[in-house]
Amino acid sequence: MRWKTGLFLIVAIAIGGGGFFAWQQFRPADLPPGFASSNGRIEAERTDIATKFAGRIKEVLVNEGDVVTAGQILVRMDSADIEAQLLEARAATEEAEQQLDQAIALLSQRKSELTLAQREYERSRVLGEEGYTTVEKVDQRNAARLAAKSAEKSAEAGVKRAKAGIKVAIARTSRLEENLKDYVLKAPVSGRVQYRLAQPGEIVGVGGKIITILDLTDVYMTIFLPTRDAGKLEIGAQARIVPDAASQYVVPATVSFVASEAQFTPKYVETSNEREKLMFKVKLRLPVDVLKKYAKRVKAGITGVGYVRLSPTAEWPENLKVKLPEVKGSDDG
């Protein structure tokens, strides 16, 4: 019995020692002073491609997962109705221009009539003063002169009205031309199509969402840090991201945002222990050049661990130095 008990103790010590040794070897290394870490999730800014006007979808030119560039055409709406309105507006502009030509011609005619009436009146007035014509004749010539002058003013008003009509027609044409541009939906940013929410033939209302794009140049990880760490953190501080799906890599990042208010636990606390429980939201933004280089690898929703450098003089430990995948030619590897 004694030797069995001794053997059991030896085996137990061996197992315990081996387990302790394995735990020492494989447990996560403690961060040195000047650093902090937290679990997080990689996110990307989303842009919804929506309609400005209600209508029927004619074409959707991309699928979920496609990478698009800024300015690329994504959706075409049925624009037959607005195109007809535009043709009508252009025809109205031409008609207004013709009306202006007519008004100018009429004004020229009225000016000539006024000139003639003015001369006839002057001749009659002189003849009347010399007694060669009647006062009635002079009055008739004066009335004709005044009527010609009123007709000239009316013709001038007609020219102004025709010019205003042209401006209205041009403005309506320009508005319809600009609206027609909105029947072709383009990508405002480069990114990846995350959702395709509508199909050709569907009728959508004003503001109806058709496509959602992830901006692959604006990717970040959101983490939460306690008061003692968030208070030391500076905007622009160096950071590192280790994705769970590719823990062999270490991605560089920068602190781009630190919340001014705690995200959870009571907003107002009384004791220092309670204040230590306050957690602040922090964003770690990935560099644009890295995102462009590895655009095909970037995926929103991936979890991982974010590390931040609290002290600008602290040296990154060896296991947190930047390590990225190799790139094969123009591909992302």
Task: Specify the amino acid at residue 262.
Answer: A
The CA distance from 274 to 279, in Å, is 11
Same domain assignment for residues 190 and 153? no
- What are the pLDDT digits (tens) for 73-105? 999 999 999 999 999 999 999 999 999 999 999
Structural domain contains residue 9: no
CA distance 113 to 119: 10
Task: Calculate the alpha carbon distances from 177 to 54, 112, 117, 173, 182 in Å.
Answer: 17, 42, 49, 6, 9
Is residue 176 in a domain?
yes
109 and 148 housed in the same domain: yes
Whether residue 120 is contained in a domain is answered as yes
Same domain assignment for residues 89 and 176: yes
SS3 readout for the chain: CHHHHHHHHHHHHHHHHHHHHHHHHHCCCCCCCCEEEEEEEEEEEEEEEECCCCEEEEEECCCCCCEECCCCEEEEECCHHHHHHHHHHHHHHHHHHHHHHHHHHHHHHHHHHHHHHHHHHHHHHHHHHHCCCCHHHHHHHHHHHHHHHHHHHHHHHHHHHHHHHHHHHHHHHHHHHHHHHCCEEECCCCEEEEEECCCCCCEECCCCEEEEEEEEEEEEEEEEEEHHHHCCCCCCCEEEEEEHHHCCCEEEEEEEEECCCCCECCCCCCCHHHHHCCEEEEEEECCHHHHHHCCCCCCCCCEEEEEEECCCCCCCCHHHCCECCCCCCCCCC
Residue 253: inside a domain: yes
Q: Are residues 192 and 237 in the same domain?
A: no
Regarding whether 219 and 295 lie in a shared domain, the answer is yes
- Domain count within the chain: 3
| Same structural domain, 231 and 194 | no
CATH of the domain at 251: 2.40.30.170
pTM: 0.66
Pair (160, 196) in one structural domain:
no
Residues 106 and 137 in one domain: yes
Condensed to tens digits (0 to 9), the pLDDT of residues 175-189 reads: 999 999 999 999 998
Give tens-digit pLDDT for 233-289: 999 999 999 999 888 999 999 999 999 887 765 454 444 455 556 889 999 999 999
**Structure tokens that stand for 88 in this block:** 């009508």
Each residue's pLDDT tens digit, 132-159: 888 888 888 889 989 989 999 999 999 9
Residue 73 and residue 36 share a domain:
no
Instruction: Tell me whether residue 143 is in a domain.
Output: yes
Q: Give domain status of residue 327, yes or no.
A: no
278-322 pLDDT, tens digit each: 889 999 999 999 988 887 788 888 899 999 999 989 999 999 999
Which residue would you say has higher pLDDT here, 80 or 227? Answer: 80
* Residue 190 token pair: 């480069």
Domain that holds residue 73: 50-78+183-204
Tokens matching residue 169: 């027609």
Q: Is residue 12 part of a domain?
A: no
